[in-house]
Amino acid sequence: MIEATGVSWHYGANPVIDGVSVTARPGRVLGLIGPNGTGKTTLLRLLYGALRSPHGRVLVDGDALSSLPAREAARRLAVVVQETGGETALTVAELVLLGRGPHLSTFQRTGPADHEIAARCLTRVGAAHLGARAFASLSGGERQRVLIARALAQQATHLLLDEPTNHLDIRYQHEVLHLVRDLGTCSVVVLHDLNLAARYCDDLVLLGRHGVAAAGTTDEVLDPAVLEPVYGIGIRRLELDGAIHLLFHPIDQSIDRRIDERSAA
């Protein structure tokens, strides 16, 4: 479990995250959603310690993240970020082996057991056949699978992903998120697409201009009455075959005025 209480982050004089509290529970996928500029990626970075909040605290399974040595933190938290480039000369197998780093001493080299774990992780994400390929030669969807395999090789108890579907076509978007959901671990994922969030997340935190606008189960948060004031667009919710689907349309002037009045208040 990851619990953040009252965390904040400012860029200069501008507060991006201010007094935010979230909880990611074991065996569930928590989605961070909201318009651009509301601090989704910043909050994710606070949750895995890339940024340290001057206020509040982040607990991982009851232990303060700030007190965990880097190696121990890496054994608990595995991260897949957008910035990972494709220009590395490493093969897929070599890249996944990097995930074993937190379990090795400073000068220890990977051994047969580490190679076996890496191979199992590639198999688990459906990428065993890519092991000898250069990572730089892979498609976007293949790269995401390999990066998740590297995260799994850490054998961490928590997985955090920053927009894992960014720049992927529809097929790979669903394949990657289906994989994350099937892992059964405590996962936190930043998403822009609300319909993907509806399908693959158990819980959601909706960020607005002033922090958390709503938090709860996916069914609770994906309510047009909750979403429209935050996104400034008309939303219609349908439920087909037990799944939530959202349709979007330009907002009319009367609703637009109500949103402006609510934001000003």
- Per-residue pLDDT of 70-117, as tens digits, reads 999 999 999 998 755 557 789 999 999 999 998 988 788 889 999 999
Q: Are residues 204 and 262 in the same domain?
A: no
In which band, very low, low, confident or very high, does the pLDDT at 194 lie, cut at 50, 70 and 90? very high
Q: Are residues 187 and 260 in the same domain?
A: no
Q: Are residues 217 and 227 in the same domain?
A: no
- Give Cβ neighbours of residue 105 (< 8 Å, ≥ 6 apart): none
In which band, very low, low, confident or very high, does the pLDDT at 260 lie, cut at 50, 70 and 90? low
pLDDT of residue 188: 97
Q: Are residues 227 and 206 in the same domain?
A: no
Quote the percentage of the chain above a pLDDT of 90: 66
Torsion 82-25-8-204 (CA) sign: positive
pLDDT of residue 83: 57
Residue 160 near residue 80, CB atoms below 8 Å = yes
Q: Are residues 212 and 157 in the same domain?
A: yes
In which band, very low, low, confident or very high, does the pLDDT at 210 lie, cut at 50, 70 and 90? confident
Quote the percentage of the chain above a pLDDT of 70: 93
Residue with tokens 């894992």: 164
Domain carrying residue 77: 2-222
pTM for the predicted model, two decimal places: 0.86
Strands (E), the chain: 2-11, 14-24, 29-33, 57-60, 63-64, 77-80, 158-162, 186-190, 203-208, 211-217, 234-240, 243-249
Q: Are residues 184 and 244 in the same domain?
A: no
Q: Are residues 12 and 88 in the same domain?
A: yes
Q: Are residues 196 and 154 in the same domain?
A: yes
Q: How far is CA 73 from CA 49, 151, 158, 160, 251, in A?
A: 9, 13, 10, 13, 45
Give the count of domains, the chain.
2
**What letter would DSSP give residue 137?**
G
